Amino acid sequence: MIEISTLSKTYGAQTVLNIEQLHIPAGQTFGLVGNNGAGKTTLFSLMLDLISPTSGTVTNNEVIVQNSEDWKTHTAAFLDESFLIGYLTPEEYFTFIGGLRGIKKEDVSIALEAYTDFFHGEVLGQKKYIRDLSKGNQKKVGIVGTLLSNTPLVILDEPFANLDPTTQIRLKNLLKEQASASGKTFLISSHDLQHITDVCDRIVVLHQGKIVRDEVTSPDTLKELEGFFSEQL
Amino acid sequence: MLSHFLFLQWKSFVRGAGFATGLAQKIILGFGWVYFAFVFTGLAFIGFYYAQDELGEDPLVFLSGNLIYGVVFWVILRYFLQKMPAVHVQPLLALPVSKKSIVRYGLSKTVLSFFNLSNLFFFVPFGIILFREEYNPLGVLGWWIAVGSLILATNFLNIMLNSVDRILIVVAALLAGLFALQYFEIINLAVWTAPLFMAPYKQPLWGLIPFGLLVLLYRWSFAHFRNKLFLDSDAMRPKKETHRVADLNWLDRFGRIAIFLRNDIRLIVRNKRARVSVWMGFAFLLYGLFFMNDIYSSPVWMVFVGIFVSGGFLFGFGQYVPSWDSSYYPLMMTQNIPYKEYLTSKWWLVVVGTLAGMILSSFYVFFGWETYLAILAGGVYNIGINAYLVLLSGAYTRTPIDLTSTKNAFGDKKSFNLKSLLLSIPKILLPMFVFYVGVLVHSKGVGIAFVALVGILGFAFRNLVFGWIEKIYQQEKYQTLLAYKQKNA
């Protein structure tokens, strides 16, 4: 699905990301972990062509992201609130996103029913604009927007942050369900080691822009990661 | 304390996204300043001796007699063009900075505006001439104080006009009333007010009254903003607008572009800044009326008017494409939207707005077919050429517009200001030139035809130009994304 070779990003003298090689196969639930400034968001932004790499390329489903816009058809992403349109209601936002993906308004409404639990009655039918929702509810809108898009690739930056405990657990179930049922590829970053090891098949640890660990999730992974990050300090 | 604020101001300027373009604009503005300095100073000299030698009147009495018109004009001009000061208040609230000094800083920033300082270029030379012509020095000082206080008073009045709608309505009604009284010759304002403006010269102590007015208005706006510096006051918190339902299903017939048009219409309906820009478009429709008397004496102005009348929406709204989408630009860049489609939808919006302007301005037929044809030609030119230019300059403007946040008590809520007016000058001068060529070749009619022809030619090369603009947007993409991240720059 994703192929990265000799990708780097440098600001002035500081290299914030430097990845020799990274291959993410289709259908994988890929977890990205790292402290602040490790380069997680930079990596996602490069994958989405939001920033330009200093060297190297990202290939998304055989499309070189830096050269062509064709990757947009099969990729959905939610990095932060700049992926939301504040003056729309959540319903209008979903219709907009759906419309861009060629999903009819009625089908969007049907698809939304699956997320009733996740929204917890706080998002739909409120007659509120997204800008007037709380941070947590805004996040729910953004996440569901990507899931609705029905794209083979979904990129989520720290989806668990800002969510209440109940919703965090529901999100975990939702992601696991979708990953196993639809064969979607998920790229997820998080600071929450517990959640990310629960959800992901594979965990990659970034430190100072470099991949320092890359392993398939096993029952021991959480312990190892905790050990790794406490030594870092 | 002041040094702290100035430090923040300087940093936000230097580190702002639009620093380079900001600098270029500052240079253009600098030239504007020099120009106005010359004009105003010249006006002081010429005005003085013209009144004295040609009209045979005492220049001071003459000026004082007409000052009321100047004051009214200045109030109106300020309201439409003066930018409101922006102080990013929120992070300061929890810091050991007294709210008083925040407000004081915000208010004093407005004093440095062009609309205050430019007056110096007129009134200082004028006063110096008065001294040299051996007017009573003490009287001149009193007069200066009175006029200076009045100018600053209109500054603070303008702040209140911008922040409280009720005051705006009252003042507008008052001005309309005065206008009616003058127009129907019930009273002659100049005759009535001349003694008032002359009084400070005859007895400098009268100068204290305008000064008192200034103090009063200052304290009023001070108290107004002081009371607003709470996080939950209306000024700091975006008003939760009642949900305006609009399905806009009728747009569906436009196919895929409907998805974007729907959003843009909602953008306009639901955000004050965008709404104001559209209202400005309507105001521009009437703009031509000011010119109806002189229009035949200087034909080149016909095109000037034509461009403006139909292009109000284009200049008010189109100028800020794609900045309107700045708060969710990353979404637009990662969604399933090719650049071309995005640009096309914006282009259509501007074109529809211009067409609406062309239709709505049909009442200009009453001023003769030639006038309306000039407006139509201007409209065609706007669609054919200026619609591209607006998109093109949008690629470089990169001023983020923060729709969601009115967290600023001193927020700049207007999208239309002096700066954007200056930026539109090139878009107007070119068609005037084309028209002039037509006039030289044959006649006004040919000039109008030339302008329309250039517009049609531009329209014909649509695909070519779009490909070109698309490339520029692609090149500027990363820069633009970076710039839009800095919301409060």
Q: What pLDDT, on the 0 to 100 scale, is given for residue A232?
A: 67
Contact across the interface for A85 and B333, Cβ inside 8 Å: no
Instruction: For residue B261, list chain A residues with Cβ-Cβ distance below 8 A.
Output: none
Q: Which residue of B has its CA nearest to A150?
A: B336
Q: What pLDDT, on the 0 to 100 scale, is given for residue B421?
A: 60
pLDDT tens digits, one per residue of B359-389:
988 888 887 788 888 889 889 999 988 898 8
Task: Check whether residue B471 and residue B351 sit in a common domain.
Answer: yes
Instruction: For residue B267, list chain A residues with Cβ-Cβ distance below 8 A.
Output: 87
* pLDDT of B414 higher than 80: no
C-alpha R_g of chain B:
25
**Distances from the Cα of B105 to the Cα of A42, A105, B156, B195, B407, angstroms:** 38, 50, 13, 36, 17
Q: Which residue of B has its CA nearest to A77?
A: B334
Ordered DSSP codes for A105-173: HHHHHHHHGGGHHHHTTSSTTS---GGGS-HHHHHHHHHHHHHHTT-SEEEEESTTTT--HHHHHHHHH
Q: What pLDDT, on the 0 to 100 scale, is given for residue B20?
A: 57
Task: Check whether residue B6 and residue B119 sit in a common domain.
Answer: yes
**Distances from the Cα of B67 to the Cα of B73, B191, B377, B430, angstroms:** 10, 11, 39, 36
> What is the count of structural domains for chain A?
1
Count the helices and strands in chain A (H runs, E runs).
8, 10
Contact across the interface for A87 and B338, Cβ inside 8 Å: no
Over residues B67-81, the mean pLDDT reads 84
Cis geometry, peptide bond prior to residue B322 (ω within 30 degrees of 0): yes
Could you tell me if A171 and A203 are in contact, meaning their C-beta atoms sit under 8 angstroms apart? Answer: no
Q: What pLDDT, on the 0 to 100 scale, is given for residue B396?
A: 76
Asked if the structure places residue B82 within a domain, the reply is yes
Which range of residues forms the domain containing residue A209? 2-232
Q: What pLDDT, on the 0 to 100 scale, is given for residue B401?
A: 77
Q: What pLDDT, on the 0 to 100 scale, is given for residue B423?
A: 60
Q: What pLDDT, on the 0 to 100 scale, is given for residue B474?
A: 87
Could you tell me if B399 and B329 are in contact, meaning their C-beta atoms sit under 8 angstroms apart? Answer: no
Task: Check whether residue B335 and residue B199 sit in a common domain.
Answer: no
Other C-beta atoms lying within 10 Å of the C-beta of residue B412: 15
DSSP state of A76: E
**A87 Cα to chain B: minimum distance (Å):** 7
At B406, the pLDDT band (50, 70, 90 cuts) reads very low
Q: Does B338 touch chain A (CB under 8 A)?
A: yes
Contact across the interface for A83 and B331, Cβ inside 8 Å: yes
Taking all residues of chain B, what is their mean pLDDT, rounded to a whole number? Answer: 80
Compare CB distances from A87 to B266, B338, B482 and report the shortest one's residue: B266
Q: What pLDDT, on the 0 to 100 scale, is given for residue B366?
A: 82
Contact across the interface for A48 and B263, Cβ inside 8 Å: no
Residue A189, both tokens: 């970053």
At B191, the pLDDT band (50, 70, 90 cuts) reads confident
Which range of residues forms the domain containing residue B345? 249-485
DSSP H helices in B112-164: 114-132, 137-163
Of A160-169, A215-224, B104-113, B296-305, the one with minimum mean pLDDT is: B296-305
At B68, the pLDDT band (50, 70, 90 cuts) reads confident
Q: What pLDDT, on the 0 to 100 scale, is given for residue B21?
A: 56
Task: Check whether residue B144 and residue B271 sit in a common domain.
Answer: no
Output the pTM of the full model: 0.72
First to last CA, chain B: 21
Over residues B298-317, the mean pLDDT reads 80
Q: What pLDDT, on the 0 to 100 scale, is given for residue B254?
A: 73
**Apex B270 CA angle, B264 and B272, nearest 5:** 105
Element holding B214 (H helix, E strand): helix B208-226
Q: From the first residue on, what is the mean pLDDT of each consecutive set of 10 residues in chain A (233 residues)?
A: 91 90 92 90 92 92 88 92 90 90 89 90 86 90 92 94 92 91 90 92 92 90 89 67
Over residues B131-153, the mean pLDDT reads 88
The identity of residue A103, as a single letter, is I
Compare CB distances from B403 to A50, A69, A86 and report the shortest one's residue: A86
Give the residue among B103, B80, B95, B94 at the shortest CA–CA distance from B224.
B103
Q: What pLDDT, on the 0 to 100 scale, is given for residue B38?
A: 87
Instruction: For residue B334, list chain A residues with Cβ-Cβ distance below 8 A.
Output: 48-50, 72, 75-77, 83
Contact across the interface for B327 and A82, Cβ inside 8 Å: yes
Asked if the structure places residue B244 within a domain, the reply is no
Element holding A204 (H helix, E strand): strand A202-207
Residue A13, both tokens: 């003298």
* pLDDT of B320 higher than 50: yes
Give the residue among A111, A103, A160 at the shortest CA–CA distance from A136.
A160
Task: Check whether residue B256 and residue B327 sit in a common domain.
Answer: yes
Q: Does B109 touch chain A (CB under 8 A)?
A: no
Task: Check whether residue B361 and residue B470 sit in a common domain.
Answer: yes
Asked if the structure places residue B165 within a domain, the reply is yes
Task: Check whether residue B218 and residue B325 sit in a common domain.
Answer: no
Count the helices and strands in chain B (H runs, E runs).
21, 0
* pLDDT of B297 higher than 70: no
Asked if the structure places residue B241 within a domain, the reply is no
Asked if the structure places residue B6 within a domain, the reply is yes
Asked if the structure places residue B355 within a domain, the reply is yes
Q: What pLDDT, on the 0 to 100 scale, is given for residue B413?
A: 45
At B231, the pLDDT band (50, 70, 90 cuts) reads low
* Contacts across the A-B interface (CB distance below 8 Å): 83
Over residues B308-336, the mean pLDDT reads 86
Could you tell me if A98 and A148 are in contact, meaning their C-beta atoms sit under 8 angstroms apart? Answer: yes
pLDDT tens digits, one per residue of B5-27:
777 777 776 666 555 556 666 77
The CATH number of residue A136's host domain is 3.40.50.300
Give the residue among B404, B398, B402 at the shortest CA–CA distance from B481.
B398
Over residues B405-425, the mean pLDDT reads 50
Q: What pLDDT, on the 0 to 100 scale, is given for residue A58?
A: 93
A contact test, residue of B328, B329, B473 with most A CBs within 10 A: B328
Contact across the interface for B334 and A52, Cβ inside 8 Å: no
Bridge pairing between strands A202-207 and A185-190? unpaired
Task: Check whether residue B421 and residue B455 sit in a common domain.
Answer: yes
Task: Check whether residue B134 and residue B166 sit in a common domain.
Answer: yes
3 state SS of A63? strand
Instruction: For residue A129, list chain B residues with Cβ-Cβ distance below 8 A.
Output: 240-241, 243, 270
At B418, the pLDDT band (50, 70, 90 cuts) reads low
Higher pLDDT: A16 or B163? It is A16
3 state SS of B407? coil
Of A86-90, B147-151, B226-230, B326-330, the one with minimum mean pLDDT is: B226-230
Residue B270, both tokens: 């639901």
Could you tell me if A71 and A63 are in contact, meaning their C-beta atoms sit under 8 angstroms apart? Answer: yes
3 state SS of B275? helix
Task: For chain A, list residues whose CB is within 8 angstroms of any CB belonging to chain B.
Answer: 48-52, 69, 72-73, 75-77, 79-80, 82-89, 92, 96-97, 99-101, 127-129, 131-132, 149
Contact across the interface for A128 and B240, Cβ inside 8 Å: yes
Contacts of A69 (CB under 8 A, 6+ apart): B338, B339
Task: Check whether residue B194 and residue B254 sit in a common domain.
Answer: no
Instruction: For residue A51, list chain B residues with Cβ-Cβ distance below 8 A.
Output: 478, 481-482
Asked if the structure places residue B265 within a domain, the reply is yes
**Distances from the Cα of A130 to the Cα of A133, A154, B53, B83, angstroms:** 5, 21, 67, 29
Contact across the interface for A48 and B334, Cβ inside 8 Å: yes
> What is the count of structural domains for chain B?
2
Q: Does B244 touch chain A (CB under 8 A)?
A: no
Contact across the interface for A83 and B330, Cβ inside 8 Å: yes
B198: Cα within 13 Å, side-chain hemisphere: 16
Q: d(Cα B233, Cα B221) in Å, to the nearest integer?
A: 16
Of B243-252, B325-334, B372-381, B383-392, the one with minimum mean pLDDT is: B243-252
ipTM of the complex: 0.87
Task: Check whether residue B397 and residue B263 sit in a common domain.
Answer: yes
Task: Check whether residue B146 and residue B70 sit in a common domain.
Answer: yes
The identity of residue B373, as a single letter, is L
Higher pLDDT: B420 or B59? It is B59
